[in-house]
Amino acid sequence: MMRQYELVERVQRYKPDVNEALLNKAYVYAMQKHGHQKRASGDPYFSHPLEVAAILTEMHMDEATIAVALLHDTIEDTTATRAEIDELFGPEMGKLVEGLTKLKKLDLVSKKAEQAENLRKLLLAISEDVRVLLVKLADRLHNMRTLDHMPEAKRLRIAEETMDIYAPLAGRMGMQGMREELEEIAFRYINPEAYRAVTARLAEIFERNKDVLSEIEKALSGLFEKHAIKAGVKSRQKKPWSVFRKMEAKALSFEQLSDIFGFRVVVDTVEDCYRALGAIHTTWSMVPGRFKDYISTPKQNDYRSIHTTIVGPSRQRVELQIRTREMNKIAEYGVAAHSIYKDTGGKTNGAAHAISKETNAYAWLRRTIEQLAEGDNPEDFLENTKLELFQDQVFCFTPKGMLIALPRGATPIDFAYAVHTDVGDTCVGAKVNGRIMPLMTELKNGDEVEIIRSKAQVPPAAWESVVVTGKARAAIRRATKNAIRKQYSGLGARILERAFERAGKTFTKESLKPVLHRLARKDIEDVLASVGRGELASTDVMKAVFPDYKDERVTPAAPKQREEGWSKIRNAAGMLFQIPGRAARKDKDQPRDGAVPIRGVRGDLPVRFAPEGAVPGDRIVGIVQPGTGITIYPIQSPALQAFDDQPERWIDVRWDIDERTKERFPARVSVTAINAPGSLADIAQVVASNDANIHTLSMVRTAPDFTEMLIDLEVWDLKHLNRLLSQLKDNSSVSDARRVNG
């Protein structure tokens, strides 16, 4: 185990003015707190935080970060408290250690939910200070290096979590070396057979090609010497997981992989990068479509390099990366390569703000966390976080030349939400490279995307299954919830207007404000939506606003009325609740003041129809169904008997059809047809010729001579339905056709 002075010496090599007192204090405190604790391997537990600190010294991190690494498990696994660490090391370091502490005693049903909540807590801590991320990744790397000592089931779970979250997170932060090691170890445990096969094959290929690799290195070095370019050339071999993933994704064999080996060219300046590229391309032919300039267009994780593939010496394909030494350092260590913390003297104030300006990677992380921490349930949060961590990207442009980086497979909808949430919410179409294209089009590198917008647009819920970015999914889900809430709120307002009018009062939203506490709702819209969903009765709202209010409506005595017959119930209900069609009126088509207008399922209210359907021209009544809105029944439906003792659920409704918005309505019919070949075709022909639509069809009863069918139709209105029934009856294949009313 590393000694106290050895740790200090490690840091002194790159930071001569190291705060030795801080490191010594953290070392002694952590060792005392972990005491005689043991790891699964049998080693002293303190060896773990010490190794985590050692990993961070390899990244040349400051002494404050090293101290946090030593302390990172104290709150979680010892008697140490946040208050104690604040007192000894200061509140800033206490906050960092707490950010690395898993949530305990979570009252969550699933392990996935627990994992998501701990990830949410970690990411929020990272958004405030990037050193939380660096310590966490070093912690995970050491745990992966010692994974052999864990039980098999736990090994697999930790390896999968590493592959899904921590390796991509390291990649997103530009820490390619750490990402590759995490992936390689995780691959070994997730798919050991594939790992062994790929590793053995790579070793065999390297042995076979080492002379060729040496020859290419010499040829490249000679070329740069000829052009007076100071450059280091080194061959590199693709990692096992990277090879396996590519073979699996593209269904390739080893022989078809052209980039198992590559060469890295490291020069002094950006100018030298392009001079080296010119020398290479004028000597050997470039492979078309295999050139990428990440210097002029850096990746979101700050990666910068020129990639090209040539047909080089020995007519072999050679993949090259050309970069400066500084670029190479950032490619290896990512955000850890930035010297933002080197001169803070152990203080963290303002550091996260400074690094967010310096690195695209950290700025991206903070934006992502802000988007993901907006109240999604744990499983959605975990899924969206994984989506956001995908490394493969496409780069697209707005018409004004703004660069937008997106995951591969992204659509114009993802692009719109990446520009701004409002742009996504109002998106109705897109032009890709000047041509109008479907919103499901998969974007490619270099595409110019122009979003066509409309203020009347509400994002369809179906978009959620099309988009690939977490930001777009979260925004669509939020917009859908808001649209549904708005529908319920509108319905609730109309129900309350009607209830107040019956009581001789005038309804205003402001009248609800003083009684929110009595209704246990946080705002007025919440009250209205609760009434619309049927969770809060209008009479309860009336009593809250007017404490002396008494509901003078009489609940029908159901058993007695049933004895007198359904017709008397209908009349009584019409008089008591002013249900359309149940109260006698001279003009049945005259609009009714106070009645809720119904336009169908495409309207602005949460409406659905009873199984037997209802069509314009029917006398209708609405029944509030808790949680789903209003169900519309035709007045003659026997199903209404079930609600005759629940007057608070009856809603006065009327048709309000907009002729410009064509919509068919549901109606159920029973057809008795002759049991002969072609009968069903004849019935379908009558329906089609009348511009109606069959939604569902079922055979109710089949006899030797007749078949009875139940058909759910979609028609324009009552006249349309009656005309269709008349023509069905006249058809030679049909014995009888009639409407079903429940």
Tell me the mean pLDDT in the region 609-617.
Answer: 90
Q: Is residue 403 part of a domain?
A: no
Pairwise CA distance, residues 114 & 378, whole Å? 8
Bridge partners (DSSP) of residue 285 are: 311
175 and 26 housed in the same domain? yes
Pairwise CA distance, residues 622 & 634, whole Å? 9
Which pLDDT belongs to residue 364? 63
Residue 352 has pLDDT above 60, yes or no: no
Pairwise CA distance, residues 83 & 649, whole Å? 55
197 and 183 housed in the same domain? no
483 and 617 housed in the same domain? no
Three-state SS for 580? coil
The two counts, helices (H) then strands (E), for the chain are 29, 21
9 versus 336: the higher-pLDDT residue is 9
CATH number of the domain residue 121 falls in: 1.10.3210.10
Q: Is residue 404 part of a domain?
A: no
Q: Which residues are catalytic?
A: 76-77
Pairwise CA distance, residues 151 & 159, whole Å? 12
- Which residue carries 């047909």 as its tokens? 311
Which pLDDT belongs to residue 245? 83
719 and 607 housed in the same domain? no
Pairwise CA distance, residues 160 & 154, whole Å? 10
Q: Give, for 324, the enclosing helix (H) or strand (E).
A: strand 317-324
Pairwise CA distance, residues 742 & 306, whole Å? 71
Residue 588 has pLDDT above 60, yes or no: no
48 and 16 housed in the same domain? yes
CA distances from 201 to 105, 207, 239, 245, 311 (A): 47, 10, 12, 15, 24
**Most confident stretch, 483-492, 619-628, 633-642, 710-719:** 710-719
- Check if the beta carbon of residue 167 is closer than 8 Å to that of residue 188: no
Picking from 601, 621, 655, the residue at the C-terminal end of a domain is 655
Which pLDDT belongs to residue 558? 39
Tell me the mean pLDDT in the region 443-462.
Answer: 88
89 and 141 housed in the same domain? yes
Residue 601 has pLDDT above 90, yes or no: no
Cα angle vertex 649, ends 644, 652, to 5°?
95
Q: Which structure tokens are listed for 528?
A: 């209205």
Which pLDDT belongs to residue 727? 93
Picking from 142, 161, 190, the residue at the C-terminal end of a domain is 190
Which pLDDT belongs to residue 586? 34
Q: Is residue 282 part of a domain?
A: yes
Lowest mean pLDDT among 214-228, 274-288, 482-496: 482-496
302 and 316 housed in the same domain? yes
Tell me the mean pLDDT in the region 143-165.
Answer: 88
42 and 170 housed in the same domain? yes
Sequence-distant (≥ 6) Cβ neighbours of residue 481 within 8 angstroms: none
Residue 573 has pLDDT above 50, yes or no: no
Burial class (CB in 10 A: 0-12, 13-18, 19+), 376: buried
What is the number of domains present in the chain? 5
Sequence-distant (≥ 6) Cβ neighbours of residue 180 within 8 angstroms: 239, 241, 242
580 and 625 housed in the same domain? yes
650 and 692 housed in the same domain? no
Tell me the mean pLDDT in the region 339-347.
Answer: 42
* pLDDT class of 280 with cuts at 50, 70, 90: very high
- Check if the beta carbon of residue 164 is closer than 8 Å to that of residue 391: no
User: Residue 207, Cα to own-chain centre: how many angstroms?
Assistant: 45
Q: Which structure tokens are listed for 629?
A: 């809105």
* pLDDT class of 533 with cuts at 50, 70, 90: confident
15 and 133 housed in the same domain? yes
Sequence-distant (≥ 6) Cβ neighbours of residue 398 within 8 angstroms: 404, 419, 448, 449, 450
Query: What does pLDDT average to over the chain?
Result: 81
Lowest mean pLDDT among 142-156, 448-462, 618-632: 618-632
111 and 143 housed in the same domain? yes
Which pLDDT belongs to residue 426? 93
Residue 340 has pLDDT above 50, yes or no: no
CA distances from 22 to 33, 343, 740 (A): 16, 15, 83
Q: Is residue 245 part of a domain?
A: yes
Q: Is residue 375 part of a domain?
A: no
Q: Which structure tokens are listed for 585?
A: 């009126």
**Most confident stretch, 38-47, 263-272, 656-665:** 263-272
Q: Is residue 626 part of a domain?
A: yes
Phi/psi of residue 702, each to 5°? Answer: -120, 125
Three-state SS for 707? strand
Tell me the mean pLDDT in the region 191-217.
Answer: 88
Pairwise CA distance, residues 251 & 245, whole Å? 10
Q: Is residue 39 part of a domain?
A: yes
The DSSP symbol for 287 reads P
Q: Is residue 306 part of a domain?
A: yes
Amino acid 445 reads N
Query: DSSP letter string over 587-608?
Result: -TTSPPTTPEEE--TTSSS-EE
Structural domain boundaries, residue 71: 4-190
Tell me the mean pLDDT in the region 177-187.
Answer: 92
CATH number of the domain residue 215 falls in: 3.30.460.10
* pLDDT class of 143 with cuts at 50, 70, 90: very high
Q: Give, for 200, the enclosing helix (H) or strand (E).
A: helix 192-226
| CA pseudo-torsion sign 342, 348, 354, 355 | positive
* pLDDT class of 607 with cuts at 50, 70, 90: confident
CATH number of the domain residue 707 falls in: 3.30.70.260
| CA pseudo-torsion sign 130, 136, 142, 145 | negative
Residue 193 has pLDDT above 60, yes or no: yes
Phi/psi of residue 180, each to 5°? Answer: -65, -40
Picking from 162, 190, 218, the residue at the C-terminal end of a domain is 190
